[in-house]
Amino acid sequence: MSANRALVARPRWLQRYRVNWPGLAVIAAGIALWELYSRTLGAHFDSIASATQTFQALKWLLFEGPLLAQLLHTLIVSLIGWLVASTLGFAMGLAIGIWRPVWMYTMASIEVLRSIPSISFVSIALLIFGFSLQTELVIVIYVSQWPVLLGTAGGIRSTPGGLLEVARSFRLSRSATIFKVILPAALPNIIVGFRLSLTLSISLAVVAEMVGNPAGLGFGIVFSQQAVQPAQAFAYLLVIGLLGWGMNFILVTVIGRVFRGYGPLV
Amino acid sequence: MGFGLVLWQIFASPDVPYFPPPIEWLRALAALWTSGKLVPAVVVTLSDFAGALALSIVIGSVLGILLGRSKLLDRLFGPALEFGRTMPAGAMVPVAVLIMGYTSSMTLAVVVLTSFWPILLNTRSGAQRISQDRLDTARVLRLSWWETQYKILLPSVLPSIQLGTRTAAPVTLIIVLLVEILTQVSGIGREIAMQQSMFRSAPVYGLVALTGVMGLIVNWLISWAGHLTRKYDPSAANGSEQ
Amino acid sequence: MTDSSGESALAFRCRALSVDLGVGEARRRIIEDLDLEVPRRQFLCILGESGVGKTTLLRVFGGLVDATADSVLELNGERVVGPPQGAVFVFQNYAASLLPWRTARRNVELGLEATTSKAARQQRVTAALRQVDLADHADDYPWQLSGGMQQRVQLARALAVEPDLLLMDEPFGALDAMTRENLQVELRRIQQTSGATVIFITHDVDEAVFLADRIIVLKGKPASIGIDVMSRLPAERDQVRTKESPEYLELRHRVYEAVSRRSGGGKE
């Protein structure tokens, strides 16, 4: 029955640390193809940098150029933004999820607000705060609090009825029910919110740097595009991709360690 | 929400440029309409959105089925996909502009590369979860390979595709607007960016509200489409309502 | 557990118990005018076809569902309003009732955390786990355990609070036949040693006859008591010998007839 399916799915988290060599080989082959293409068919396009050119540009940017400082800027802004957004989103999600009246009065507004494409707020933030760090932080925080808010509120409200009955049968107090049953049950949803939020905060930090705050990796990539330096633009793209992937990887690993007991749930 | 807007209208002072009252938004939108800028911008944004979403659905579901049904392919492309899916869309725009110029195929490429992920991932897990019994049924009934694909496999993953599309549609709209704001070539995103660079706050708020209405309509359309598949597989569509 | 008024004292009593479920137009009487007295330490099985309202009745006993206003429902002489002190539920769906993020030990602790000190708690948890033969799996998570083991964790969790009344809702219904028979023997043994009163819901006649000191068959719509029989089986039960004894066969025959008779739903 359903218990069997859980047993089959279980070992996945154990496999997390196994290195997927064929998969890495595909990436290596992709890089080789890219190099081959840019040296042969693509050679007459000025706008395409080869893999080696990109790595050279990366080396230059890293040791002589502004890359390290920009990386640090983006990293710090997105981390701070993520932490603030997670705290805010969690607090609001908790209030909405636990108190029925709050849910009833806010849900319509939330439904409308989150339908407004988050990116539109970039312009409003720019209008109010101008080209500044504030703009960047406001954008990052506003956009990346949504997944945590929705994950927390939704997770709390979808606590399995069976668990709530157990809490009632054992006469758990209201606070014990919240801390021992409802929040742990909502945790997988909340964690998904944290992950989405982290990805968004990096993404939005880069966007904000492209249009609203001349600093960080986003500014770097726009600058190299406007200076028609494809190798540098490619290098920035690579770094931004690695940043997003790396942060996500770290978060997933930490979550896997901390919430080991959830096993197949997280 | 409506209450908040009314309060805003009453208390917003026309002298402070940052928070224009909602009536001003509508006036600004009307002015844009009569100047003939609004309609073409909406058309461009909507058609880019529709095209990109359609392409994302096709690419995402085909790749998702392939990866979900073949362990080998999944293993081969797993790490590359893992990397690709965390790539921020904004960062791709400058590189795409370098390679393809300020063209609508560039917009399409960036948008599709960002928004097909939810469809791919949902379809992949849907295809992985098809019960062996259902596939064995096809073998017992001696269905041909082709019949198995479109009578068993496709209907089985359809709810997953729909679920992925639900997530992907708002993302698609966001990325279309993002590309328009970044490149300032056409569409509503361009209008927003232009008005903002001229510090005209009322049109900015009006256009943002307009994108909100578009977002709402997209959400409604998607949940309406959801009923179509929920009819025959009520369990499948409930997974990620939030 | 509470007072020592002797073996024959009443644990549980209901009089003129009626239950309505549903809202508005769909509101329907599920159980009508039910009188029941359960002495302390009795193992009572309630049998009935699916849909007759057994589970609803048990949920009313456990304070999870309200009865009509004029119903009387008492545990140890106190009116039941909400889940009463001293009564604990064991649910059929073990997977949905164990906290998946807690180990077996921590699951068993759940009911004790507000009332007992840490040291006393550890002792009682260990004892409860030993009672259900799970001492070796105390630190496993539910998803690492088989269905039968998970249900035993739930049983241990209920036993740990040393309840006067165990309310069990088809607890073995989702288990395979072998596991179920083993657990039946264990449950019977545990009930004998712990002295808890048990009200056990099932739709399996053999299970009821094997386990019970007393069997009630629910019939009709709305449901009421069809037959109410005492078992003459010895206190100690065994899957082979008990089931071969003439008393067992006779009781089984009687209960089977009561369950399967297609009477229109009146009382007999």
Banded pLDDT at A81 (limits 50, 70, 90): very high
Banded pLDDT at A126 (limits 50, 70, 90): confident
Q: Which pTM does this prediction carry?
A: 0.80
CA distance A170 to C161: 9
The residue among A48 and A87 whose pLDDT is bigger is A87
What are the CA-CA distances from residue C200 to residues A214, B187, C187 (Å)?
71, 68, 11
pLDDT at A182 over 60: yes
Strands C10-21 and C78-79: unpaired
Give me the pLDDT at residue C134, please: 86
pLDDT digits (tens, 9 = 90+) for B75-131: 888 888 888 888 888 888 888 888 888 888 888 899 999 889 889 988 988 888 887
Task: State the average pLDDT over residues B191-201.
Answer: 84
pLDDT digits (tens, 9 = 90+) for C39-55: 888 899 998 887 788 88
User: Among B39-48, B232-241, C9-18, where is mean pLDDT lowest?
Assistant: B232-241
Which chain C residues contact residue A181 at CB under 8 A?
Answer: 99
Contact across the interface for A263 and C143, Cβ inside 8 Å: yes
For residue C10, give both structure tokens: 């009443």
pLDDT digits (tens, 9 = 90+) for B140-170: 787 777 888 778 888 888 888 888 888 888 8
Contact across the interface for A115 and B178, Cβ inside 8 Å: no
What residue has token string 């020592």? C4
Which chain B residues contact residue A245 at CB under 8 A?
Answer: 82-83, 86
Using DSSP's 3-state secondary structure scheme, residue A93 falls into helix
Banded pLDDT at C29 (limits 50, 70, 90): confident
Residue B14 within any structural domain of the chain: no
How far from the centroid of its chain's Cα atoms is residue A34's Cα? Answer: 28
CA distance C194 to A79: 56
Phi, psi (5° rounding) for residue B161? Answer: -60, -45
Q: Does A164 touch chain B (CB under 8 A)?
A: no
Using DSSP's 3-state secondary structure scheme, residue C223 falls into strand
CA distance B24 to B53: 33
Give me the pLDDT at residue B204, please: 86
User: Among A170-174, A260-264, C163-167, where is mean pLDDT lowest?
Assistant: A260-264
pLDDT at A11 over 50: no
Q: Does A75 touch chain B (CB under 8 A)?
A: no
Give me the pLDDT at residue A6, please: 41
Looking at the complex, report in whole angstroms how far the Cα of residue A170 sits from the nearest Cα belonging to chain C.
5
What are chain A's domains? Answer: 60-262 (1.10.3720.10)
Q: Does C96 touch chain A (CB under 8 A)?
A: yes
Least Cα distance to C251 among C240, C243, C262, C263 occurs for C243
Residue B218 within any structural domain of the chain: yes
What residue has token string 């456990």? C62
pLDDT at A80 over 90: yes
For residue A135, give both structure tokens: 């703009």
Banded pLDDT at B8 (limits 50, 70, 90): low
User: Among A91-105, A206-220, B225-239, C44-58, where is mean pLDDT lowest?
Assistant: B225-239
The residue among A20 and A262 whose pLDDT is bigger is A20
Give me the pLDDT at residue B233, please: 55
Residue of C nearest to A159 (CA): C96
Which chain A residues contact residue B78 at CB under 8 A?
Answer: 20, 23
Banded pLDDT at C3 (limits 50, 70, 90): very low
Cross-strand bridge partners of residue C230: C214
The residue among C3 and C56 whose pLDDT is bigger is C56
Cross-strand bridge partners of residue B170: none
Give me the pLDDT at residue A17, please: 56
Task: State the average pLDDT over residues A19-39.
Answer: 82
Task: State the average pLDDT over residues C119-134.
Answer: 87
Residue B144 within any structural domain of the chain: yes
Phi, psi (5° rounding) for residue A136? Answer: -60, -50
Residue B10 within any structural domain of the chain: no
Which chain A residues contact residue C103 at CB under 8 A?
Answer: 261
Give me the pLDDT at residue C1, please: 43
Interface test with C, best of A166, A174, A258, A266 (most C CBs within 10 A): A166
Give me the pLDDT at residue B30, please: 82
- Helices marked H in A158-260 — which ranges? 161-169, 174-176, 183-211, 216-226, 230-258
The C10-21 sheet, strands edge to edge: C28-39, C10-21, C72-75, C78-79
Least Cα distance to B116 among B60, B175, B191 occurs for B60
Contact across the interface for A48 and B99, Cβ inside 8 Å: yes
Give me the pLDDT at residue B15, please: 61
Residue B115 within any structural domain of the chain: yes
Q: Does C173 touch chain A (CB under 8 A)?
A: no
Q: Annotate chain B with three-state secondary structure.
A: CHHHHHHHHHHCCCCCCCCCCHHHHHHHHHHHHHCCCHHHHHHHHHHHHHHHHHHHHHHHHHHHHHHHHCHHHHHHHHHHHHHHHCCCHHHHHHHHHHHHCCCHHHHHHHHHHHHCHHHHHHHHHHHHHCCHHHHHHHHHCCCCHHHHHHHHHHHHHHHHHHHHHHHHHHHHHHHHHHHHHHHCCCHHHHHHHHHHHCCCHHHHHHHHHHHHHHHHHHHHHHHHHHHHHHCCCCCHHHCCCC
Give me the pLDDT at residue C267, please: 40
Task: State the average pLDDT over residues A61-67.
Answer: 86
Whether ipTM > 0.90 holds is: no
Q: Does C100 touch chain A (CB under 8 A)?
A: yes
Contact across the interface for C99 and A187, Cβ inside 8 Å: no
CATH of the domain at B152: 1.10.3720.10
Residue B215 within any structural domain of the chain: yes
Give me the pLDDT at residue B240, please: 38
Which chain A residues contact residue C179 at CB under 8 A?
Answer: none
Evaluate whether C31 touches C223 at the Cβ level (below 8 Å).
yes
Task: State the average pLDDT over residues A91-106.
Answer: 86
pLDDT at C5 over 60: no
Which chain B residues contact residue A236 at CB under 8 A?
Answer: 91, 94
pLDDT at B51 over 90: yes
Banded pLDDT at A34 (limits 50, 70, 90): confident
Percent of chain B with pLDDT strictly greater than 70: 86
Least Cα distance to C186 among C228, C208, C217, C155 occurs for C155
Q: Running DSSP on this structure, what letter comes out for residue C48?
A: -
Please list, in sequence order, all residues whose beta carbon lies within 8 angstroms of the beta carbon of residue A73, skipping any fewer than 6 positions away. Answer: A209, A215, A216, A217
Residue B13 within any structural domain of the chain: no
Residue B4 within any structural domain of the chain: no
Evaluate whether B214 touches B225 at the Cβ level (below 8 Å).
no
Give me the pLDDT at residue A5, please: 42
Q: Is B242 exposed, middle or buried (0-12, 13-18, 19+ CB in 10 A)?
A: middle
Contact across the interface for C83 and A169, Cβ inside 8 Å: yes
Which chain A residues contact residue C111 at CB under 8 A?
Answer: 170-171
Contact across the interface for B94 and A211, Cβ inside 8 Å: no
Task: State the average pLDDT over residues C142-146.
Answer: 86
Counted domains in chain B: 1
Give me the pLDDT at residue B53, please: 92
Residue of B nearest to A237 (CA): B91
Number of CB atoms found within 10 A of residue B235's CB: 8
Task: State the average pLDDT over residues C170-175.
Answer: 85
Domain residues for the domain of B167 are 24-233
pLDDT at B218 over 60: yes
Looking at the complex, report in whole angstroms how far the Cα of residue A136 sits from the nearest Cα belonging to chain C.
38
What residue has token string 């989150």? A114
Give me the pLDDT at residue A261, please: 60
pLDDT at A107 over 80: no
For residue B154, give both structure tokens: 């496709």
The residue among C200 and C194 whose pLDDT is bigger is C200
User: Among A245-254, B103-112, C21-30, C175-184, where is mean pLDDT lowest?
Assistant: C21-30
Evaluate whether A243 touches A75 at the Cβ level (below 8 Å).
yes
pLDDT digits (tens, 9 = 90+) for C223-258: 778 888 888 888 888 888 888 888 888 888 888 888
Banded pLDDT at A87 (limits 50, 70, 90): very high
Percent of chain C with pLDDT strictly greater than 90: 4
The letter for the amino acid at B40 is P
Which chain B residues contact residue A203 at CB under 8 A?
Answer: 88-90
CA distance A143 to A128: 16
Nearest to A244 among B87, B99, B209 (CB): B87
Least Cα distance to A237 among A209, A216, A217 occurs for A217
Strands C214-219 and C224-230: antiparallel
* Rg, C-alpha atoms of chain C: 18
| End-to-end Cα separation, chain B, in angstroms | 20
pLDDT digits (tens, 9 = 90+) for B28-43: 888 888 887 888 888 9
Nearest to C64 among A165, A262, A264 (CB): A165
Banded pLDDT at A13 (limits 50, 70, 90): very low
Contact across the interface for A112 and B182, Cβ inside 8 Å: no
Interface of C with A in 130-169 (CB under 8 A): 141, 143-144, 146-147, 150, 161
Interface of C with A in 64-93 (CB under 8 A): 64, 82-83, 85, 87-89, 91, 93
The letter for the amino acid at B61 is S
Give me the pLDDT at residue C76, please: 79
Banded pLDDT at A198 (limits 50, 70, 90): very high
Contact across the interface for B99 and A115, Cβ inside 8 Å: no
How far from the centroid of its chain's Cα atoms is residue A213's Cα? Answer: 20
Number of CB atoms found within 10 A of residue B142's CB: 7
Contact across the interface for B1 and A112, Cβ inside 8 Å: yes
CA distance A183 to A152: 9
Number of CB atoms found within 10 A of residue B55's CB: 17
Chains near C (3 or more Cβ pairs under 8 Å)? A
